[in-house]
Amino acid sequence: MPERIVRTLCYFSDAPGAAVAERLHELGTRLTEAGFTVQTRRLCGTAGSLASLNALCSDHLPGCLGTLDRKAAHHCLDDFLDSPYLFMNLAPDGEVLEDDVGLLQRILRERPAKTFQFTFTFNNAHSSPYFPSAHRHCDGFSLGLQPVNLAEGCSTLAPWLDHMRHAWEQLCSLLDTENDFLGIDSSVAPLGGGAGSLVRFIRHLHGSFRASVTTDTWLRITTFIQEHNPRPVGLCGLMLPCLEDNILAEEYEAGEFSVERNLFLSLHSGLGVDTYPIGMDEKPERILEVLRTLQGLSNKYQKPLSARFVSDGRARIGEKTAFSNPVLRDVVVRPL
């Protein structure tokens, strides 16, 4: 049986304190004893719990301020920039404005590493344990796997899907009696270039990433994770993190993962533009165009979509990044 990895175990609380941190530790221990590898434990509060999150969070326990409107995002921005452990997402009030792009540009200028911890969200789902899109709706915990690892050794799609279902059933058997268990976000969250790469497995199935794009494989995966998850919560979609999936980063450098292709896959199966490189000289009006398109698609299809653009603070279009982030692969930046 491939390794069962809990990518994120997240507790949601409007007043996070030592008791919540201890609860997370207890839950992590139970999962480990049951044979799961727990990769990260996380806390999600609200803008009102900023001080508590700052006091509790660390490298081993990151925190999220949740989904903020435009006013709250600007109010929290200085604290967000000053803390290496805080994540947040902005859901613009009404149409995306130049001011929203301006907020991203300030992050790019002052703390470019924080672009990894910030995303724009549209029609966001609550209680997802994946950062930076996490948003508290009520107190309790949810978790999400790194399910691509369960495809290791699978030659076709069906065995992988069965492995995912078995893992969800095991988690529910272990946690269903817990009153604060909110559910499982069955999103497919890739990481790295080996067993954790979704595109590596897709290449195995179809020979190339390009050949897969207009097959129904992506739809079949999405339908399965939405219909067979016994305790669904959160986003429950396909993540296409351009620089976290090393093989997808290769496709990006080869010109095979343009924003247009990213949006096409996201519209029917994915969750948006994620860890997508942006040049320091990218035009603000172009960023605004992409965000407004993403927002329009999200509204039209009532589908959660997000946009997380990342930069190293130096690389311009045509130059190679130097992220110094172990989960982000360096690439030559292309224009949006």
Q: What is the CATH number of the domain that holds 168?
A: 3.20.70.20
Tens digits of per-residue pLDDT, 194-224? 999 999 999 999 999 999 999 999 999 999 9
Sign of CA dihedral 132, 133, 139, 140: negative
Beta-sheet pairing, 272-277 with 140-145: unpaired
* Position 329 in a domain: no
Tens digits of per-residue pLDDT, 277-312? 999 999 999 999 999 999 999 999 999 999 999 999
Burial class (CB in 10 A: 0-12, 13-18, 19+), 57: buried
Helices and strands, counts by H and E, the chain: 11, 10
Closest CA to 183 of 5, 2, 1, 12: 12
* Position 327 in a domain: no
Q: CA 206, CA 16: separation in Å to the nearest integer?
A: 46
What is the pLDDT confidence band of residue 2, given thresholds at 50, 70 and 90?
A: confident
* Position 319 in a domain: no
Crossing angle between the packed helical segments 157-175 and 18-33, to the nearest 10 degrees: 130
Q: Which domain holds residue 157?
A: 5-310
What is the pLDDT confidence band of residue 65, given thresholds at 50, 70 and 90?
A: very high
Tens digits of per-residue pLDDT, 240-255? 999 999 999 999 999 9
* Position 80 in a domain: yes
Closest CA to 175 of 230, 242, 102, 238: 230
* Position 101 in a domain: yes
* Position 15 in a domain: yes
* Position 37 in a domain: yes
Count structural domains, the chain.
1
* Position 177 in a domain: yes
> With DSSP H G I counted as helix, E B as strand and the rest as coil, what are the percentages for the chain, rounded to 5?
40, 20, 40
Distances (CA, A) of 56 to 13, 15, 77, 158, 240: 12, 11, 19, 42, 30
Tens digits of per-residue pLDDT, 120-148? 999 999 999 999 999 999 999 999 999 99
